[in-house]
């Protein structure tokens, strides 16, 4: 059996290809790991730690069932019970235990646990023995994690030997907390968005995970200690560039989230959240860590699962256990080789569906694996490590390296089924190395008719291209392989196309030359007699040659007769670049299939190849007619840089003051003698109605003497007067650069407005250490046609305003959020901007907000908001977030006509949506928005929030759920939406939520996430949730059409289709009900049943039901079901099957032409009552009552034409 092929980098300049063996050295059993203990802990576990004595596990719950329910759970591991529960704030994202034996005597009994609450800039210190909150200590901006470091007495920072080190995400810093004194020692800048920190056992070097930099920075704690002491004292913040304490930095994968140091200090393991991989660092020399390559594939990262987010290492340093938030397994990695040994499926003994893992720990003695499940109704699972059953790692999707397993057919009239698999660079992707593997799976696995492979090579004998193949046959005969290479030069700076020259050579699997090098220009031909085995054809440019593309044709036959072939698949790789017009070159493999079969295609780019690898790739599979059969792109594409807004019009404006950065001193503000600084002009403005025109130039503290924040009131500042218009000559030419300046040692805004009726337009505002432009307690302010970039927190911020208009701006790559507005007041606005209403708190319209670590647009803390026709792409949490976190005043919003794409899933696996209404916020209207490729959700009404109308939105390609109503939230109407291609459910309603009406929606093709185990399908109503009416919807071609579960209900489900779903049309289970399921279509569904009713009840009428794989209608577990005036037909198994004490009533139902019994009952107490129905043409008994069950008929019921007979068992009153 030929295993999977891989093609790593090998010796200098040679890309060696895939070895042909599958993973070995691990015994995988059929059985599944079963936990020794299952301890219920609640909803939404996220962080997990063990006490220093190993007796307790401490778990934080991110989303408790109710707003004031406990969110800290202490579990007694010896007795396997919950010992204590507590409530500490909201959004509890991290928790860490402290060893009290190492603390000073005065504080040792007071500090067992420290915690981090999201969006609260402080560390909470708690004594869980008493439940008492001891203290809250200030940290930096948006802390994301905390690490406890206890040296046993040796000072670490200052005189502190017991530290809590906090990573401050958007603050870009570390905070150091002295746990003995409960004081902040200092804060040190470290890089872009630190997410976690580890320390090597020697106690000198810190390893800081920098998400945005995709790197781990190494800090010298001694130098850092000196910097904190000398620069800031206690407390303080180090500001230094370059850093005097960073000694090295090493690149890892995308969005690294967490790090663990092995107990012996030899390795650091980093989880790359959006790469679905880990990076292993050799830190035996901690000053200069290096990436450990996978010895089998030579790749720089090891795929482990979807969204790896927690790591535990065994005390003997030999194993790492990785929890994957998006997969239902723990990945076990051998740290000695290193390689993946297998996975531990996370499975509760009583659960039919597997669950994911939020966090993982190894017990102090290394004997137990302790796992906190993710999701609702979660448990703490305790496994015996010696009894773990390892299963093979499933195929893991690696973003930017698209792959597929797809059925390719050979038509009967074709000599073979011919296809090409082509790769191109995604828009904006960088050139680099790549590889592609094509594997056949059926029959003799031969590729007939030869191979065509294509790619590119670099100039001047640098990185080559290659093709690889395997020849094998039952007779172990040699074969002749004929190879033709056609090369074409690409424009290459410094090289002439006339000097194109290529060298071609065949090497074997051990990289030994099989042929001499053959050189040529545009065509090279080579023929060789080869023994059965694996071979690589290397194509590289000769010295002095430009780069180029190649087309390789390979043919083979036996030495003395026709026949033979390429076995198992093919490989191709090399260099991919762009042509002079910017279009990507195309790399491809053309192959011919002897029979229809699944073909597996895998690709490699930067994740596998490392820094020299190409950027994201697009895979296109074409047939013989060159028609696209499948296009696969699994990247989060970067949007093109937005154009600057057009310059604001000066029409109708009378210019009162002029500013010019080239002006001389002593200006008067006239056109001929302008002011040199904006600060001066603002100070000289008379007030209402004055217009200040700022001419093209760059305005900054160092160049023009600006005093920050420009326009704000305060000591030493010139506040912009009421009614003034400050207008630039266009954002592309009028630059305000705050130069990352400070004011009195603290971050400062670039601009500020504290007066009403002010307009700011036509500027680029950049380089603020805080906010680009902040509006405070001012009404009727207009911010338009500006470009905000690279500011320390927000591009635009506002608080306490009324009638605020933010229009036609661009906010890109500000450190935290593009546009953030809080606490507005609804007032009337005369002459409001086009598209805005006549009265509002804030109208945010036609803006672009892309590429922020948190939200594109954030509206919060009460007020009235209209968010209209904006674009928000590639933000870390939400494109648009409306939250009312403090719930002090009502928050109402209208969110209409916005485009949100590629947002979320970067900072935390749980955080992200295209549009998010959350924490007591309300949306009057959510309509006409587009939400594409957001993670985890598309549009969500979440956590005690509400919406009146959710209508006419297009929600596509959400990584988990498309439209979400969750956590005690309510929506009146969901109508006329299109929700397609969600990884889990199209419409997801959960956790005591309610929707009045779901009508006229198209919810198709959802549930595509193969490795996900949560509810998948068109519509899910779960967890004590209710829906009034479901009317005239399409729930077709999903994984499952509709699921209603766990004490949930839909009062009326009418005139909807649940057709051609993969695993069933309708599932109602766990104490749920569908009292009026009428006039629906449930046809052509796969799975065990088209309709399944389990421990629930329902009424079905005027409905057609069929299954392609199983039973039409199945009724389980003491359920009650009435079916009237319906047709159940053409299922391959039973028409209707009733089990386990369930009760069925049929009236005027046709049960026709099913593959087994028409109606089957089984189990004690199971009954079916049939009236005025027809049971005909079934291939089993018409009525079949087994195992102490019974069937009774009344009225004009007809049972006929069934084979082998009409009735069997306890059937009464039926003809």
Token couple for 608:
């596998």
How do beta strands 1049-1054 and 1073-1078 pair? parallel
For residues 61-82, average pLDDT: 88
Least confident of 407-421, 508-522, 1081-1095: 407-421
For residues 287-309, average pLDDT: 88
Q: Among 2.70.160.11, 3.50.50.60, 2.60.120.380, 3.40.50.12280, what is the CATH number of 404-624?
A: 2.60.120.380
Compute the C-alpha angle 901/903/907, nearest 5°.
170
Residue 446 pLDDT: 67
Residue 28 pLDDT: 35
Check whether 21 has a pLDDT greater than 80: no
Rounded to whole angstroms, the Cα distance separating 1049 from 794 reads 43
Residue 804 pLDDT: 98
Per-residue pLDDT of 611-638, as tens digits, reads 888 999 999 999 988 999 999 988 888 8
Residue 441 pLDDT: 82
> CA torsion 896→902→904→910, rounded to 10°?
100
Check whether 855 has a pLDDT greater than 60: yes
Rounded to whole angstroms, the Cα distance separating 946 from 994 reads 9
Least confident of 158-167, 230-239, 850-859: 230-239
Rounded to whole angstroms, the Cα distance separating 1056 from 770 reads 52
Sole residue written with tokens 């297009």? 954
Residue 91 pLDDT: 80
Helix (H, G, I), strand (E, B) or coil at 385: helix
Whole-number Cα distances in Å, 243 to 164, 188, 218, 792, 1154: 21, 10, 11, 18, 75
Check whether 442 has a pLDDT greater than 80: no
Helix (H, G, I), strand (E, B) or coil at 603: strand
For residues 870-897, average pLDDT: 94
Rounded to whole angstroms, the Cα distance separating 34 from 481 reads 52
Residue 486: is it exposed, middle or buried by C-beta count within 10 angstroms (0-12/13-18/19+)?
middle
The model's confidence at residue 444, banded by pLDDT at 50, 70 and 90, is low
The model's confidence at residue 228, banded by pLDDT at 50, 70 and 90, is low
Question: What is the residue extent of each domain of the chain?
Answer: 37-387, 404-624
* 886 vs 998, more confident: 998
Check whether 1 has a pLDDT greater than 70: no
810 phi-psi bin (left φ>0, alpha ψ -120 to 50, beta other): beta
For 317-356, give one letter per residue: b (16+ CB within 10 A) or e. eebbbbbbbbbbbbbbbebeebbbbbbbbbbbeeeeebbb
What DSSP line would sit under 1049-1104, residue for residue? EEEEEES-B--S-SS-SEEEESS-EEEEEES-EEEEE-SSEEEEEES-EEEEES-E
Residue 987 pLDDT: 98
For residues 1024-1049, average pLDDT: 97
> CA torsion 381→385→387→389, rounded to 10°?
80
For residues 710-734, average pLDDT: 92
Check whether 873 has a pLDDT greater than 70: yes
Q: Which helix (H) or strand (E) holds 606?
A: helix 606-609
Instruction: Please list, in sequence order, all residues whose beta carbon lies within 8 angstroms of the beta carbon of residue 533, skipping any fewer than 6 positions away.
Output: 470, 471, 472, 508, 509
Q: Which range among 123-132, 222-231, 296-305, 516-525 has the greatest average pLDDT?
A: 516-525
Sole residue written with tokens 């009239």? 413
Contact between 291 and 268 under an 8 Å Cβ cutoff? The reply is no
Residue 15 pLDDT: 26
Rg (CA), the chain: 33
For residues 875-881, average pLDDT: 96
For 439-460, give one letter per residue: b (16+ CB within 10 A) or e. bbeeeebbbbbbbbbbbbbbbb
Token couple for 970:
């309510």
Rounded to whole angstroms, the Cα distance separating 662 from 610 reads 47
For residues 53-58, average pLDDT: 93
* 19 vs 1006, more confident: 1006
Check whether 809 has a pLDDT greater than 60: yes
Instruction: Residue 742: name the closest of 193, 237, 246 by CA.
Output: 237
For residues 903-924, average pLDDT: 90
Check whether 13 has a pLDDT greater than 60: no
Per-residue pLDDT of 452-474, as tens digits, reads 888 888 999 998 888 888 887 77
Check whether 350 has a pLDDT greater than 60: no
Check whether 185 has a pLDDT greater than 50: yes
The model's confidence at residue 4, banded by pLDDT at 50, 70 and 90, is very low
Contact between 1021 and 998 under an 8 Å Cβ cutoff? The reply is no
> CA torsion 739→740→744→746, rounded to 10°?
170
The rounded Cα 227 to chain-centroid distance in angstroms is 38
Residue 19 pLDDT: 24
For residues 198-207, average pLDDT: 93
Residue 445 pLDDT: 66
For residues 334-342, average pLDDT: 94
Contact between 875 and 856 under an 8 Å Cβ cutoff? The reply is yes
Q: What rounded mean pLDDT belongs to the chain?
A: 90
What is the CATH number that goes with domain 37-387? 2.130.10.10
Helix (H, G, I), strand (E, B) or coil at 228: helix
Residue 1011 pLDDT: 67
Residue 352 pLDDT: 52
Instruction: Please list, in sequence order, all residues whose beta carbon lies within 8 angstroms of the beta carbon of residue 1097, skipping any fewer than 6 positions away.
Output: 1073, 1074, 1075, 1119, 1120, 1121
- What residues are paired with 379 via a beta bridge? 40
The model's confidence at residue 349, banded by pLDDT at 50, 70 and 90, is low
Cis peptide before 1214 (omega within 30 of 0): no
Least confident of 123-132, 333-342, 513-522, 932-941: 123-132
The model's confidence at residue 397, banded by pLDDT at 50, 70 and 90, is confident
Residue 234 pLDDT: 34
Rounded to whole angstroms, the Cα distance separating 888 from 891 reads 9
For residues 1155-1175, average pLDDT: 96
Rounded to whole angstroms, the Cα distance separating 582 from 639 reads 16
Phi and psi (nearest 5°) for 591? -150, 160
How do beta strands 290-291 and 277-282 pair? antiparallel
The model's confidence at residue 1010, banded by pLDDT at 50, 70 and 90, is confident
Least confident of 263-267, 396-400, 495-499, 819-823: 396-400
Residue 727 pLDDT: 98
Check whether 11 has a pLDDT greater than 50: no
What DSSP line would sit under 665-714, residue for residue? SS--SSSSS-BS-HHHHHHH--STT-EEEEPSEEE-HHHH---SSBB--S
Whole-number Cα distances in Å, 423 to 274, 435, 563: 22, 9, 30
- What residues are paired with 429 via a beta bridge? none
Residue 18 pLDDT: 25
Taking the model in full, what pTM does it have?
0.88
> CA torsion 242→244→250→252, rounded to 10°?
-70
Sheet holding 81-86: strands in order across? Answer: 45-50, 56-61, 72-76, 81-86
For 821-848, give one letter per residue: b (16+ CB within 10 A) or e. bbbbbbeebeebbeebeeebbbbbbbbb
The model's confidence at residue 880, banded by pLDDT at 50, 70 and 90, is very high
């Amino acid at each position: 059996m030929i295993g999977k092929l891989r093609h790593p980098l090998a010796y200098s300049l040679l890309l060696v290809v895939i070895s042909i063996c599958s993973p070995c050295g691990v015994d995988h059993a059929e059985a599944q790991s079963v936990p020794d203990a299952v301890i219920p802990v609640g909803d939404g576990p996220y962080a997990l730690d063990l006490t220093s004595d190993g007796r307790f596990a401490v778990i934080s719950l991110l989303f408790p069932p109710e707003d004031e329910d406990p969110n800290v759970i202490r579990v007694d591991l010896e007795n396997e019970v919950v010992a204590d529960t507590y409530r500490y704030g909201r959004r509890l994202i991290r928790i860490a235990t402290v060893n009290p034996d190492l603390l000073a005597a005065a504080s040792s009994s007071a500090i067992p646990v420290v915690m981090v609450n999201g969006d609260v800039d402080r560390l909470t210190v708690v004594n869980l023995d008493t439940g008492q909150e001891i203290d809250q200590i200030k940290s930096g901006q948006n802390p994301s994690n905390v690490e406890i470091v206890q040296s046993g007495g040796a000072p670490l920072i200052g005189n502190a030997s017991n530290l809590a080190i906090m990573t401050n995400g958007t603050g870009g810093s570390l905070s150091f907390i002295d746990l003995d004194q409960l004081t902040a020692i200092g804060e040190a800048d470290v890089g872009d968005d630190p997410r976690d920190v580890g320390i090597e056992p020697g106690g000198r070097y810190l390893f800081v995970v920098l998400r945005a930099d995709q790197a781990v920075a190494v800090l010298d704690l001694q130098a850092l200690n000196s910097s904190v002491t000398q620069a800031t004292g206690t407390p303080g913040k180090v500001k230094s560039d370059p850093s005097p304490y960073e000694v090295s930095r090493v690149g890892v994968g995308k969005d690294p989230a967490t790090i663990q140091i092995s107990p012996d200090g030899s390795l650091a393991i980093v989880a790359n959240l959006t790469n679905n991989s880990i990076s292993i660092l050799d830190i035996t020399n901690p000053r200069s860590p290096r990436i450990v390559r996978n010895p089998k594939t030579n790749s720089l990262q090891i795929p482990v699962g979807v969204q790896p987010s927690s790591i535990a290492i065994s005390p003997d340093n030999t194993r790492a256990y990785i929890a994957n938030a998006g997969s239902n397994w723990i990945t076990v990695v051998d740290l000695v080789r290193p390689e993946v040994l297998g996975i531990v499926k996370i499975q509760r003994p009583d659960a039919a569906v597997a669950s994911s893992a939020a966090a993982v720990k190894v017990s102090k003695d290394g004997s137990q694996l302790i796992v906190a499940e993710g999701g609702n109704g979660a448990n703490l699972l305790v496994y015996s490590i010696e009894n773990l059953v390892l299963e093979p790692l499933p195929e893991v999707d690696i973003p930017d390296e698209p792959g597929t397993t797809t059925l390719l057919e050979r038509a009967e009239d074709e000599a073979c089924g011919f296809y090409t698999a082509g790769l191109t660079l995604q828009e904006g992707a960088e050139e680099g190395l790549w590889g592609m593997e094509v594997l056949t799976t059926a029959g003799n696995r031969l590729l007939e008719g030869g191979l065509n492979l294509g790619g590119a090579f670099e100039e001047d004998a640098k990185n080559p291209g290659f093709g690889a193949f395997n020849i094998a046959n039952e007779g172990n005969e040699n074969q002749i392989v004929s190879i033709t290479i056609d090369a074409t030069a690409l424009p290459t700076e410094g090289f002439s196309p006339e000097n194109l020259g290529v060298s071609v050579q065949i090497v074997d699997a051990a990289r030994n030359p099989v042929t001499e090098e053959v050189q040529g220009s545009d065509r090279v031909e080579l023929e060789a007699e080869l023994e059965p085995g694996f071979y690589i054809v290397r194509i590289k440019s000769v010295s002095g040659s430009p780069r180029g593309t190649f087309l390789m044709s390979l043919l083979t036959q036996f030495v003395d007769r026709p026949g033979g072939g390429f076995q198992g698949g093919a490989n191709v790789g090399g260099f991919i670049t762009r042509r002079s017009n910017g279009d990507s070159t195309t790399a491809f493999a053309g192959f011919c299939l002897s029979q229809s079969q699944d073909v597996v295609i895998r690709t490699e780019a930067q994740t596998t190849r490392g820094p020299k690898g190409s950027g994201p790739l697009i895979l296109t599979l074409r047939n013989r007619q060159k028609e696209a059969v499948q296009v696969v792109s699994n990247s989060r594409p970067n949007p093109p840089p937005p154009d600057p807004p057009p310059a604001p019009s000066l029409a109708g404006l009378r210019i009162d003051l002029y500013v010019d950065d080239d002006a001389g001193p002593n200006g008067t503000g006239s056109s001929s003698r302008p002011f040199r600084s904006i600060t001066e002009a603002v100070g000289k403005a008379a007030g209402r109605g004055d217009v200040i025109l700022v001419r093209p130039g760059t305005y900054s503290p160092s160049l023009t003497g600006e005093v920050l924040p420009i326009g704000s009131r305060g000591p030493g500042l010139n506040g912009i007067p009421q009614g003034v218009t400050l207008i630039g000559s266009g954002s592309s030419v009028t630059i305000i650069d705050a130069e990352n300046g400070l004011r009195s040692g603290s971050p400062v805004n670039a601009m500020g407005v504290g007066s009403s009726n002010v307009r700011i337009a036509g500027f680029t505002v950049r380089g603020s250490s805080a906010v680009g432009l902040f509006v405070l307690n001012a009404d009727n302010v207009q911010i338009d046609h500006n470009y905000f970039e690279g500011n320390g927190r927000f591009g635009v911020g506002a608080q306490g305003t009324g009638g605020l208009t933010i229009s036609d701006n661009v906010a890109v790559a500000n450190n935290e959020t593009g546009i953030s507005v809080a606490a507005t007041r609804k007032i009337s606005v005369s002459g409001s901007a086009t598209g805005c209403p006549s009265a509002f708190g804030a109208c945010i319209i036609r803006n672009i907000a892309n590429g922020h670590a948190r939200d594109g647009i954030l509206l919060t803390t009460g007020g009235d908001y209209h968010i209209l026709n904006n674009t928000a792409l590639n933000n870390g949490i939400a494109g648009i977030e409306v939250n009312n976190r403090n719930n002090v005043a009502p928050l109402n919003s209208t969110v209409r006509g916005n485009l949100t794409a590629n947002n979320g899933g970067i900072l935390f696996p749980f955080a992200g949506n295209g549009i998010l209404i959350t924490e007591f916020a309300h949306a009057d209207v959510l309509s006409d928005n587009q939400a594409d490729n957001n993670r985890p959700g598309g549009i969500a009404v979440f956590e005690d929030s509400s919406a009146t109308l959710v209508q006419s939105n297009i929600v596509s390609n959400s990584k988990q759920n498309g439209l979400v109503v969750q956590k005690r939230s309510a929506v009146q109407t969901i109508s006329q939406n299109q929700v397609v291609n969600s990884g889990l459910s199209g419409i997801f309603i959960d956790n005591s939520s309610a929707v009045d009406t779901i009508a006229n929606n198209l919810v198709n093709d959802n549930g595509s996430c193969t490795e996900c185990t949560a509810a998948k399908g068109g519509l899910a109503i779960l967890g004590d949730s209710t829906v009034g009416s479901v009317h005239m919807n399409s729930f077709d071609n999903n994984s499952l059409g509709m699921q209603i579960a766990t004490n949930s209900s839909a009062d009326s489900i009418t005139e909807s289709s649940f057709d051609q779903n993969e695993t069933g049309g309708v599932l109602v289970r766990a104490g749920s009900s569908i009292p009026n399921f009428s006039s629906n279509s449930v046809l052509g569904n796969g799975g065990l049943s088209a309709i399944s009713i389990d421990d629930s009840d329902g009424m079905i009428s005027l409905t057609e039901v069929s299954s392609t794989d199983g039973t039409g209608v199945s009724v389980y577990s003491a359920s009650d079901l009435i079916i009237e005036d319906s047709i159940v037909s053409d299922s391959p198994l039973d028409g209707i099957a009733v089990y386990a004490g369930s009760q069925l009533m049929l009236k005027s139902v046709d049960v026709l032409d099913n593959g087994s019994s028409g109606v089957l009952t089984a189990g004690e107490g199971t009954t079916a009552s049939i009236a005025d129905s027809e049971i005909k043409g079934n291939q089993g008994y018409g009525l079949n009552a087994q195992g102490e069950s019974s069937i009774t008929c009344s009225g004009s019921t007809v049972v006929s034409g069934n084979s082998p007979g009409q009735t069997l068992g306890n059937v009464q009153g039926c003809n």
